[in-house]
């Protein structure tokens, strides 16, 4: 059983909790492939996506995951909502809570935004990316994909290459992969590396060749130009020349190494087009597995909540208790 109200990050999850979600995702995957196997497990459950930052994969796959399990799925449509009139994150969340939304899925540029929302609503909150902090469902689908392809996580070498400093995907993957026994090596230009990552249990290097050497998995990360303040590398061509993963770099990895990327990919910058579309790439499978993993997460959160009868009764009544709220105001 999954006993949490929310999924805010991988950092706090135990190895057993991660594995429980991954095992459930394996069962869910056949529902993605086969319409007849889809259920109404989340009948009468209402979900809302609150995306303050752009998304294709995460937002669409959460919406489909909910629909495949029979939930009602709404999108706040931040750009056309009262957020644009200045409504705070907490007030937005409490408003949706009063309407009877059971699950809120939030992506926001502020670190801790999902935690703030979770403290102030009765709904389950799922973090779909908060600033440079965590993107837990991306890490879960990455780990699921690696486990599916390699049969294990323990003992694997995973090289994560690119814009590490701004990457919530890297942070969540470090937490998850190291908990499950993988070795994680991070590589990128010194301006895009964070020494703090070593404290989290990963090795950090500016030498991409040593990072990729004998790796079982090579994961490229998107250069997040929108989060950079400028001057972190001369230009994209220079970046791609020094830190892009191409056929030549890949030769030093294990011959059966997986090529991964959370997407969206800047083709020819982080990864060369031939390896994105090559036989070792599992990038499209990551996308598909994202639906199964998000179905699993919705399922375990709702089932866990139903089994905690007291919490479930409070939840069903849709009345956020005032002591549950705090005064902090976050205006996006």
> Rule CB under 6 A: which residues touch ligand CP?
55-58, 138, 262-264
Neighbours of 308 (CB within 10 A): 14
Complex with ligand CP: residue 189 or 290, whichever CB lies closer: 290
Complex with ligand CP: residue 194 or 289, whichever CB lies closer: 289
Complex with ligand CP: residue 9 or 262, whichever CB lies closer: 262
Complex with ligand CP: residue 122 or 172, whichever CB lies closer: 172
- Report the alpha-carbon distance of residue 8 to residue 124 in Å, rounded: 10
The nearest distance, CB 263 to ligand CP, in angstroms, is 5
Complex with ligand CP: residue 24 or 138, whichever CB lies closer: 138
Complex with ligand CP: residue 90 or 161, whichever CB lies closer: 161
- Report the alpha-carbon distance of residue 237 to residue 286 in Å, rounded: 27
The nearest distance, CB 320 to ligand CP, in angstroms, is 28
The nearest distance, CB 169 to ligand CP, in angstroms, is 7
Cβ–Cβ < 8 Å for 94, 324:
no
Order the strands of the 217-220 sheet from edge to edge: 203-205, 183-187, 157-161, 217-220, 258-260
Complex with ligand CP: residue 56 or 190, whichever CB lies closer: 56
Cβ–Cβ < 8 Å for 89, 330:
yes
The nearest distance, CB 269 to ligand CP, in angstroms, is 16
Complex with ligand CP: residue 90 or 283, whichever CB lies closer: 283
The nearest distance, CB 55 to ligand CP, in angstroms, is 3
Ramachandran area for residue 4 (φ above 0: left; ψ -120 to 50: alpha; else beta)? beta
The nearest distance, CB 153 to ligand CP, in angstroms, is 20
The nearest distance, CB 262 to ligand CP, in angstroms, is 4
The nearest distance, CB 223 to ligand CP, in angstroms, is 14
Complex with ligand CP: residue 23 or 56, whichever CB lies closer: 56
233 closest CA partner among 265, 191, 204, 193: 191
- Report the alpha-carbon distance of residue 320 to residue 314 in Å, rounded: 8
Cβ–Cβ < 8 Å for 47, 101:
yes
The nearest distance, CB 238 to ligand CP, in angstroms, is 25
């Amino acid at each position: 059983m999954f006993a949490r109200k929310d999924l805010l990050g991988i950092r706090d999850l135990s190895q057993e909790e991660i594995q429980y979600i991954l095992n459930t995702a394996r069962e869910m995957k056949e529902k993605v492939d086969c319409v007849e196997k889809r259920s109404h497990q989340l009948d009468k459950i209402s979900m809302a996506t609150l995306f303050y930052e752009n998304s294709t994969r995460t937002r669409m796959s959460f919406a489909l995951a909910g629909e495949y399990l029979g939930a009602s799925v709404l999108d706040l449509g931040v750009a056309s909502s009262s957020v644009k009139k200045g409504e705070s994150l907490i007030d937005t969340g409490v408003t949706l809570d009063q309407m009877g939304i059971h699950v809120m899925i939030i992506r926001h540029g502020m670190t801790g935004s999902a935690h703030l929302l979770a403290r102030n609503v009765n709904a389950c909150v799922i973090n779909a990316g908060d600033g440079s902090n965590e993107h837990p469902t991306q890490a879960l689908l990455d780990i699921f994909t690696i486990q599916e392809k390699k049969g294990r996580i323990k003992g694997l070498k995973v090289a994560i290459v690119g814009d590490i400093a701004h990457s919530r995907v890297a942070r969540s993957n470090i937490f998850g992969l190291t908990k499950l026994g993988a070795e994680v090596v991070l590589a990128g230009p010194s301006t895009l590396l964070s020494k703090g990552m070593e404290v989290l249990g990963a090795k950090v290097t500016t030498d991409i060749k040593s990072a990729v050497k004998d790796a079982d998995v090579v994961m490229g990360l998107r250069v997040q130009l929108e989060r950079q303040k400028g001057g972190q590398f001369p230009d994209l061509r220079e970046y791609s020349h020094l830190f892009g993963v191409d056929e030549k770099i890949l030769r030093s990895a294990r011959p059966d190494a997986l090529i991964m990327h959370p997407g969206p990919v800047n083709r020819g910058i982080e990864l060369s087009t031939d390896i994105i579309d090559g036989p070792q790439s599992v990038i499209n499978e990551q996308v598909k597995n994202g639906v199964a993993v998000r179905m699993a997460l919705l399922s375990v959160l709702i089932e866990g909540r139903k089994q905690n009868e007291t919490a479930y009764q409070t939840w069903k009544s849709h009345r956020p208790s005032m002591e549950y709220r705090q005064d902090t105001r976050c205006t996006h």
